[in-house]
Amino acid sequence: MSKTKIAVLVSGGGTNLQALIDAARDGIIAHGELALVISNNAGAFALTRAANAGIKTAVISKKELGSAEAFEEKLLETLAANGIEMIVLAGFMVILSKRFTDAYPNRILNVHPSLIPSFCGEGFYGLHVHEAALAYGVKVTGATVHFVNEIPDGGRIIMQKAVEIEEGDTPEVLQRRVMEQAEWKILPLSVELVAKEIKEEKKN
């Protein structure tokens, strides 16, 4: 039985993509195949990581295509042409429309660096999330993997993992610890869980 074909959408360095590549290599992601990596940024180091792992890559630029509609149209075409069944957003800096998310219901996953519903939604991305957590004085933060719908960070939660905040944490130090202790662990596990579900649905 063929594996669930997965596309990973990236914009930057690709640390979460690397966690997925490593998990696929180690057999943690057993029911899914990382078939395609798409970036909206031609300079993203994530593309190099994908190429090094032998994964097909594509660049789709909103700037070049001129509008969000044209960008999503090209994205959908590229996904369909590659037989993609599941999408993982790994540091993808583009908000997707309802039209796009409706095309892949419960098939798009995102990892967010907080325990949703804390520190999430519009404007909460990257270091901003950790700055907010520290400013608020929470003692525990973490990461969440959730399904993606048209509301930023609004889809059903798949997995969460808590991370302790330590005395003297800076946003950068906290960001790194949340990645290592939470994001890189629950993202591959969630991908495997959903890939397995999709595969079982295909059987029926």
Catalytic residues, by residue number, are: 112
Q: What is the 3-state secondary structure (H, E, C) of the chain?
A: CCCEEEEEEECCCCHHHHHHHHHHHCCCCCCEEEEEEEECCCCCHHHHHHHHCCCEEEECCHHHHCCHHHHHHHHHHHHHHCCCCEEEECCCCCCCCHHHHHHCCCCEEEEECCCCCCCCCCCCCCHHHHHHHHHHCCCEEEEEEEECCCCCCCCCEEEEEEEECCCCCCHHHHHHHHHHHHHHHHHHHHHHHHHHHHHHHHHC
